[in-house]
Structure 1
Amino acid sequence: MSSSIDLPGLVRRYGDFSLAASTDQPGIRLFGDADGVIAYRQLRKKAHTLNVALGDPLADPDRWGELARGFLAATANAMLVNVGERFGQLLTNEGLYLNPLGWEAILDLSGGYDLSGSKKQNIRNAVSRATAAGYRVDEVDEGDDEAWARLHRLSHSWLTRRSRGRPENALITRPLQRRGRHQRVFVLQDVEGTAVQMLTLDELWRADEIVGYHANINRDGEGAPKNADYVIIAHLIDLLRAHQVPVLSLGLCPTTYAGADRRRNLYSDLFLHVARREGRSIYNFDGLTRHKEEFRPTHRRPVYVAGQEPWPMHDIFGVLKVSNLV
């Protein structure tokens, strides 16, 4: 990484995609210059090296093609994960195969979005139950040592109970870090002040202004009420609308297509079928999607993985493994 590259500055100028904040973590390399980069991590296993890029380039879109060509020329084996439609098309022009990962659930808070209507009754019920029981939502102050100690205990409990003791997530999901850069943390607390649910928000930036937030780490503690994260998200919808923040991304709905206009690809279809069937032992992908669909997202942003092989299973599994997701 060149000392002339100001990564936080590039995030503030171009970081309007969900993995932008994930570029700020240990082990990330940068390809490019002071005006734009592709952020990636090099994964090595014996003689096999895989260079995994995170999302779209942190650069003006007019430079994406140039950066993509340079990155692919400089790296022997590359995979680009969670890329959007525009960058994905550029990558296919460079000879890469594009396979859908799923879709990102986007709430447009500037267009009159609210939680009214019969289809969002489950969300309102969760909020009503939590309010009646004395729960409250608070933001965690970066300087509050005691609050962060409770947060880490909750996170460790979740990793032990729900993730079979795997280490903290990394790479695709940025690890829980105690620092305020591009991240905010909210918790649901009971009447005794015990945190029972946590949710981190990554900032989305464009032209040095925050244009939205992306829900990242979502974990519950033992004894959390049903749909506790709904309570936090409902609070955030009100909070962000009050501050005129236009976008809240609820994150990826993996292994599902974004609508009837899906890119048909035999390898994609087979991969998604296998992932949905076998992935239940890792995560309940269908349940995760249904959970987010309760909010009736305004937009479904298709996201893709691009690589040099049409069949992505082997490399994607490697990425999930190094991310501590399997």
Structure 2
Amino acid sequence: MLTRFRQPQSQALLPAPAFQGRPACPAPNAEVRWQWHQQFGYNPSSLGALSAEIFEQLGIAGGLPYHAAGRVWIGTGDPLCEPEEQTELLRAFVAQARRAGKVAILLPVTARLAAVAAPLGFTAVCLGATPYLELQSWSPAGNSGKMLRGNLNAARRLGVKLESAPLDGTELTPAFRAECAALMGAWQTSRRAGTPLSWVFELDPFGWSAGKRYFLARDAGGQAVVFLAASPLPARGGWYLEDLIRHPNAPSGAAAALTAYALAQLRESGASLATLGAVPLCLPRRPEPQAASSAVLETLLYAARPLLSRWYNFDGLRQFKNQFRPSFWENEYLLLPSKSALPSAALGLLRATLPGGLRTLG
């Protein structure tokens, strides 16, 4: 089935859901960072980036998380500030990087930010696409929902039980954390690319845990087999189903069943939107007219897709997410200050993601 793509419309931000508790993170000024995310969190990657360095500009309430890697400053996600102040913050970030002898890039960013950055001379390179579900009208019925229904039925027949995380007051119980840690260890050893990734790809489901929601699937014997962490997207009135961790021996349909359960729970809590996370190098491709994208650079990037498929199952990931019948898809971008910055950007991203280099992939 060919998935319908829809680019985000210009509209008022959805009301943010209320989140309780304090951020469980040792980052400097954690409370301030948390407040910025609650007010401006629009990009799914924003919460995971809060522990990074933050670039701030005098007169702007907010900042831009970034990661320094060699000669590159990598702005991570969209700036956490008022949308009308993003242009000024981006301009200041690029200028400060230049004064420090660095190249400023940003990723992953939304189509909304790519449009904001275009007048500043940024070149956008589409990295993939992200599916979104409008939860209050979401209903995976009909032929297009057949795969999901089959997975739900399989999980039910095999005795899979679904639950939200047990809490000790407002904290996750030690027993739940221990179960999840064991599950993550089993999952890590089964991956195509066994080397743990760093930067925004680092597995850290309990970072900033106070505002997250957690879900667990158990097999018929009570063993934890699938774990899911959902991060808030306050500026969109929604949630990002960020970490879906499946035991290699999980019953058939368990991961899909837990995802559907989490979506239903979030909908019942009043959330308007949910995203299942990006599909890198997603096909089919559809450009965003307002982003100053480079067809040449995107063609070069996508040409590497067959080689990268040795370590990453692009098609399988898209098929899994497509079964939930997304309401629309949005592109995600890499922003470069110029086309000539691509080699520096590629080296910086490699250092940020794989500090040990490509040889660590095995």
TM surpasses 0.5: yes
Give the counterpart of 1:50 among 60, 63, 72.
72
* Structure 2 counterpart SS, 1:126: helix
Match of 2:122 among 92, 96, 118: 96
**Residues 1:169 and 1:224: Cα distance change in structure 2 (over 3 Å):** farther
C-alpha displacement of 1:231: 0.6
Aligned to 2:172: 143
The one-letter code sitting in structure 1 at the alignment partner of 2:209 is G
Matches within 5 A, 1:271-286: 271-274=301-304, 276-286=305-315
Query: Which amino acid is 1:277 matched to?
Result: P
Change (3 A) 1:42 1:31: farther
Q: Deviations over 1:128-157 (max 9, x none)?
A: 121222211222244311121111111011
* Deviation readout 1:70-97 (Å, 9 max, x if unpaired): 0000012111002122321232322222
Counterpart of 2:78 in structure 1: which amino acid? Answer: D
SS at the partner of 1:251? coil
Report whether the alignment pairs 1:132 with 2:132. no
Task: Give the AA of the match of 1:270.
Answer: L
| 2: CA distance, partners of 1:2 / 1:197 | 33
Is structure 2 residue 210 aligned with structure 1 residue 181? Answer: yes
The answer as to 2:277 corresponding to 1:251 is: yes
Q: Note if contact 2:123-2:336 (Cα within 8 Å) is conserved in structure 1.
A: yes
- Matches of 1:163 and 1:277 in 2, distance apart? 14
Question: Is 2:290 the counterpart of 1:265?
Answer: no
Which residue, 196, 210, 231 being the options, matches 1:202?
Answer: 231
Aligned residues with identical type, % of pairs: 21
* 3-state SS in 1 of match to 2:277: strand
Match in the other structure for 1:87: 113
Q: Deviations over 1:10-46 (max 9, x none)?
A: 0000102211211233x433333561211111113xx
Cα 1:108–1:316 change in 2 (3 A) is farther
Letter matched to residue 77 of structure 2:
G
Q: How many correspondences in the alignment?
A: 316
> How many Å separate the matches in 1 of 2:116 and 2:258?
37
Query: Do the aligned residues in 2 keep the contact of 1:10 with 1:58 (CA within 8 Å)?
Result: yes
User: Equivalent of 2:94, from 55, 68, 72?
Assistant: 72
1:88 and 1:5, CA in 2 relative to 1: closer, same or farther beyond 3 A? farther
**Correspondences of 1:292-311 after superposition (within 5 Å):** 292-310=321-339
Which structure 1 residue ranges, 5 or more long, are not aligned? none
Partner Cα distance (1:179, 1:2) in 2: 13
Task: Note the alpha carbon deviations across 1:177-198, whole angstroms, 9 max, x for none.
Answer: 2652332221211122211111
Aligned pair 1:108/2:134, yes or no? Answer: yes
Q: 2:54 aligns with which of 19, 29, 32?
A: 29
Residues 108, 20 of structure 1: alpha-carbon distance in 2 compared, 3 angstrom cutoff = same
How many angstroms does 1:317 deviate by?
6.0
Moved more, 56-65 or 286-295: 286-295
| Distance (whole Å) between structure 1 residues aligned to residue 351 and residue 162 of structure 2 | 33
**Structure 1 132/317 Cα, relative in aligned 2: closer, same or farther at 3 Å?**
farther
Deviation at 1:257, TM superposition (A): 5.5
**8 Å Cα contact 2:75-2:106 kept in structure 1:** yes
Consecutive unaligned residues in structure 2, runs of 5 or more: 1-26, 356-360
Which residue is equivalent to 2:23?
none
Per-residue deviation, 1:169: 4.7
| 1:4 Cα deviation from its structure 2 partner | 10
The equivalent residue for 1:238 is 264
Q: Are 2:353 and 1:323 aligned?
A: yes
The root-mean-square deviation of aligned C-alpha atoms, in Å, is 2.5
- Whichever residue aligns with residue 51 of structure 1, its letter is W
Q: TM-score, normalization: structure 1?
A: 0.88
